[in-house]
Structure 1
Amino acid sequence: MKKTIILIGIILFIGCKTGDNKSEKLTSEIPQVNDQFQNFIDQFPEIKLPIKIKGCEDDFQPLIELKKEISSSYEKEPYYVFGKILTNGTYIATITLGAADCFLPILTTYKLNGERIDSKTIAIGGCGQGPCFECEELVEIDEELNIYIANNLKHYKCDDDYEEVKGTKTEETIYKTGKLTQKGKIELTNELKK
């Protein structure tokens, strides 16, 4: 009888010990958001999808620059805050703005522990001010996380006063399409024209 009680005790002890190891392993596999990363992410207001960003036309006031003291581990460039996008919960997506002739949106994804997954400028670029030329930078992200990036261009001949010479206007659109994947990768096509 005594041997049976000791044997049951040993089995229970080994079973509890094994269960603890499984619990420890499971806990270590679940990414934990650290305070520094949380402070970084808290700089970004939540964005509701769909969104449309016109980098040359939208008024982004007030422009808020990323705080260097809490951002340097996650973003080295002095970008401006735009917002964060709700995803499937396994990663976090942010949009920052880079300053050029027009504001260029940068989409970046992070694991929940702050490790960067992917980052891409979601703009065509090439817009600027000048005579005989018009352009519109456009980015759209829909509810299914599909991405459309376009630069709508208009060229025409000008007279000496920089007025359009009628009948000389040409238009083209340079664009990319893509998607933000379930794993946080940003997939974009090469530039296409229409």
Structure 2
Amino acid sequence: MKKTIILIGIILFISCKTENNKSEKLTSEIPQVNDQFQSFINQFPEIKLPIKIKGCEDDFQPLTELKKEISSPYEKEPYYAFGKINTNGAYIATISLGAADCFLPILTTYELNGERIDSKTIAIGGCGQGPCFECEELVEIDEELNVYIANNLKYYECNEDYEEIKGTKKEETIYKTGKLTQKGKIELTKELKK
């Protein structure tokens, strides 16, 4: 009877040891995020979808410029951190803002280890201040990670005092559509007009 109890104890001890090895092996196969990449990503606040960004109108205060000493391996430009988007967990997506006449959003995706997958400016561009011209720069991203980018334009002829001449107003929308794929690629159409 004593031998049976000792034998069962040895078998349990060996099986626990084997189970522990499997756990260590599984953990080492999951890519570990390095500390610098984690510090870089932590500069971006979480944003909930859907989001709508109006680059010429939104008040982006407070806006934090990306810290060069942390960001340089991942982003070289002096962008501002707007936010990070929840994805399927296979990659990380961030939105930065580039300063121009209007803020231009840049969507960037990274593998979990910090390697860049894709990056695109998600704006048409060309909006700004001027007489006889109005422009709304718009970006929308929904819960399914579909992207809509548009410039809603209104322009008209003006007199020498830069006042609108009645009946000359024209409206046009230049837009792109697209999505973030399951693998973190950013797919966008060419510019379309309506």
- Which residue matches 1:71? 71
Give the Cα–Cα distance (whole angstroms) in 1 for the partners of residues 29 and 97 of structure 2. 33
Return the offset for 1:160: 1.3
Q: How many pairs are equivalent? A: 177
Give the Cα–Cα distance (whole angstroms) in 1 for the partners of residues 82 and 44 of structure 2. 7
Return the offset for 1:61: 1.0
Give the Cα–Cα distance (whole angstroms) in 1 for the partners of residues 163 and 29 of structure 2. 64
Instruction: Normalising by structure 2, report the TM-score.
Output: 0.87
Give the Cα–Cα distance (whole angstroms) in 2 for the partners of residues 28 and 159 of structure 1. 71
- Which residue matches 1:193? 193
Give the Cα–Cα distance (whole angstroms) in 2 for the partners of residues 67 and 147 of structure 1. 28
Return the offset for 1:31: 1.4
Return the offset for 1:23: 6.5
Whether 1:83 aligns to 2:78 is no
Whether 1:96 aligns to 2:96 is yes
AA in 1 matched with 2:113: N
Matches within 5 A, 1:10-159: 24=25, 26-159=26-159
Give the Cα–Cα distance (whole angstroms) in 1 for the partners of residues 62 and 43 of structure 2. 14
Report SS of the residue matched to 2:164.
Answer: coil
Listed one character per residue, the Cα deviations across residues 12-36 of structure 1 (whole Å, up to 9, x for unaligned) are 9xxx7xxx69974x55542111111
AA in 1 matched with 2:139: V
Give the Cα–Cα distance (whole angstroms) in 2 for the partners of residues 44 and 85 of structure 1. 9
- Which residue matches 2:166? 166
AA in 2 matched with 1:187: E
- Which residue matches 1:4? none
> What's the Cα RMSD here?
1.7
Give the Cα–Cα distance (whole angstroms) in 2 for the partners of residues 158 and 35 of structure 1. 56
Give the Cα–Cα distance (whole angstroms) in 1 for the partners of residues 33 and 23 of structure 2. 22
Structure 1: segments with no counterpart, 5+ residues: 1-11
Give the Cα–Cα distance (whole angstroms) in 1 for the partners of residues 111 and 29 of structure 2. 13
